[in-house]
Amino acid sequence: MKKKIRAGLAGANGYVGTELLSLLSMHPNVEISEISGASSAGRKIGNKIVKNEIDPAQCDAIFACLPHGEAGKIVPNWLKAGKVVFDLSADFRLKNHKNYDDWYHAKHPAPGLLKKAVYGMPETNSEKIKRADLIACPGCYTTATILGMLPAVKKGLVKSNIFVSAVSGTSGAGKKTDLSYLFCEVNENLSAYSPLVHRHTPEMEQELSIAGGKKVSVSFVPHLGPFNRGIYATITADLTDKKITQDAVNKAYLKEFSHDEFTVVRDEIPHLKDVRGTNYCHIYPLVDARGGRLVVISVVDNLVKGAAGQAVECFNLRFGLNKRAGLNLKLGWI
């Protein structure tokens, strides 16, 4: 029997950390060796006691589900100890530390590691992920947006100004004690927040610019919806040529994702329920011939494909495992 990989999980008390713990506990190649969580320290999960800090000596790989700014302080120590790190915070996603400083309103805690970090999107970076020791797992909104626009940008089907309107379930806000997230505020309600200044914006621009080989500008308006989990994104951009047909777009999208396990191009409008509790991204591209625009609907579960599941995908790639390992079961505890 093949020896299991010892995995540590830092930050198990949040929604993403809890989801990741569920996935890793079902993974056939993983032994959860260490669990930490500031507000859960001393509590027993399975046969493990939640600690204040991870002991890297007990781990082969460490998943960090920590707030931005906190992960960057401790990740350097884990790397020095020779561990493979999967960071689910925003600390190592942006290549330019000035962008981080500007958008997160804080000095980057470890700017010297930004060049070392590999952006953890399997659809775009699988070969680099296989060789990386620091994988920066993408944000939830960015996952839906980048995958939704990736083929169009790569093939030069759209111009460089992109508009994104996306609705997220309340779990995307994390476990906060805030008036905005109380049941009576969210239920039967829908509201925009952080329009045009959301922190995932530079991440979208960075990765789509890399994919298209030219600077891409994103105007992003996120919304909070009255449901627990999921992201429903509508992405629009002007076509580079109004003669581009629906058939040409369909072919570009199907070809781009033909070898990807979890990204599905649909021929009908997707629903959040189609992806809830799964590691799938469902995409529906639509040509607006009258307006000369491309409209793309992209849906993911923010806790799985938008966070924990994508991290497990990267883990599987990095350790040469079956890409679907630990990702076949439908979750959804909230």
Write down the pLDDT at residue 171.
87
The answer to whether residue 329 scores a pLDDT higher than 90 is no
Q: Cβ atoms within 10 A of the Cβ of 304, count?
A: 32
Report the alpha-carbon distance of residue 288 to residue 237 in Å, rounded: 10
Q: What is Dmax (Cα atoms) for the chain?
A: 63
For residues 31 and 84, the answer to whether their CB atoms sit within 8 Å is: no
The four Cα atoms 268, 125, 198, 178 give a dihedral, to 10 degrees, of 90
The answer to whether residue 299 scores a pLDDT higher than 60 is yes
Neighbouring-strand partners of residue 165: 221, 234
- Split at pLDDT 50, 70, 90, the class of 330 is low
For residues 208 and 150, the answer to whether their CB atoms sit within 8 Å is: yes
Write down the pLDDT at residue 178.
74
Write down the pLDDT at residue 82.
98
Q: Is the pTM of this model over 0.85?
A: yes
Give the mean pLDDT of 26-42.
84
What ranges make up the beta strands (E) of 11-93?
A: 30-36, 44-45, 48-49, 61-64, 84-87
- Split at pLDDT 50, 70, 90, the class of 125 is very high
Q: Under DSSP, is residue 298 helix (H, G, I), strand (E, B) or coil?
A: strand
Give the mean pLDDT of 175-189.
79
Residue 202 parent element (H or E): helix 201-212
Q: Cβ atoms within 10 A of the Cβ of 1, count?
A: 3
The answer to whether residue 296 scores a pLDDT higher than 70 is yes
Report the alpha-carbon distance of residue 240 to residue 245 in Å, rounded: 12
Per-residue pLDDT tens over the stretch 201-210 = 999 999 999 9
Give the C-alpha distances (Å, rounded to integers) separating 234 from 39, 156, 223, 285, 297.
Answer: 36, 19, 12, 10, 5
Chain centroid to Cα 130, Å, comes to 18
Residue among 77, 72, 78, 67 nearest 92 (CA): 72
CATH number of the domain located at residue range(s) 5-138+305-318 in this protein: 3.40.50.720
Write down the pLDDT at residue 182.
80
Q: Which residue has the higher pLDDT, 39 or 17?
A: 17
Write down the pLDDT at residue 3.
85
- Split at pLDDT 50, 70, 90, the class of 328 is confident
Neighbouring-strand partners of residue 236: 163, 295
Spatial CB neighbours of 77, under 8 Å, sequence gap ≥ 6: 56
Say which amino acid occupies 193.
Answer: Y
Annotated catalytic residue: which of 65, 137, 140, 314?
140
The answer to whether residue 314 scores a pLDDT higher than 60 is yes
Pick the CATH number of 141-302 from 3.40.930.10, 3.30.360.10, 3.40.50.2000, 3.20.20.70: 3.30.360.10
The answer to whether residue 146 scores a pLDDT higher than 80 is yes
**Mean pLDDT, rounded, of the chain:** 93
Q: Cβ atoms within 10 A of the Cβ of 78, count?
A: 23
65 is known as an active-site residue: no
Q: Is 196 left (phi over 0), alpha (psi -120 to 50) or beta?
A: left
- Split at pLDDT 50, 70, 90, the class of 52 is confident
For residues 55 and 75, the answer to whether their CB atoms sit within 8 Å is: no
What ranges make up the beta strands (E) of the chain?
A: 5-10, 30-36, 44-45, 48-49, 61-64, 84-87, 118-119, 134-136, 158-168, 191-192, 217-224, 231-239, 263-265, 281-288, 293-300
Give the C-alpha distances (Å, rounded to integers) separating 71 from 243, 244, 255.
Answer: 47, 44, 37
Give the mean pLDDT of 304-312.
98
Report the alpha-carbon distance of residue 135 to residue 316 in Å, rounded: 12
Q: Under DSSP, is residue 309 helix (H, G, I), strand (E, B) or coil?
A: helix
The answer to whether residue 236 scores a pLDDT higher than 70 is yes
Write down the pLDDT at residue 333.
52
* Domain limits, the chain: 5-138+305-318, 141-302
| % of the chain beyond a pLDDT of 90 | 85
Write down the pLDDT at residue 71.
94
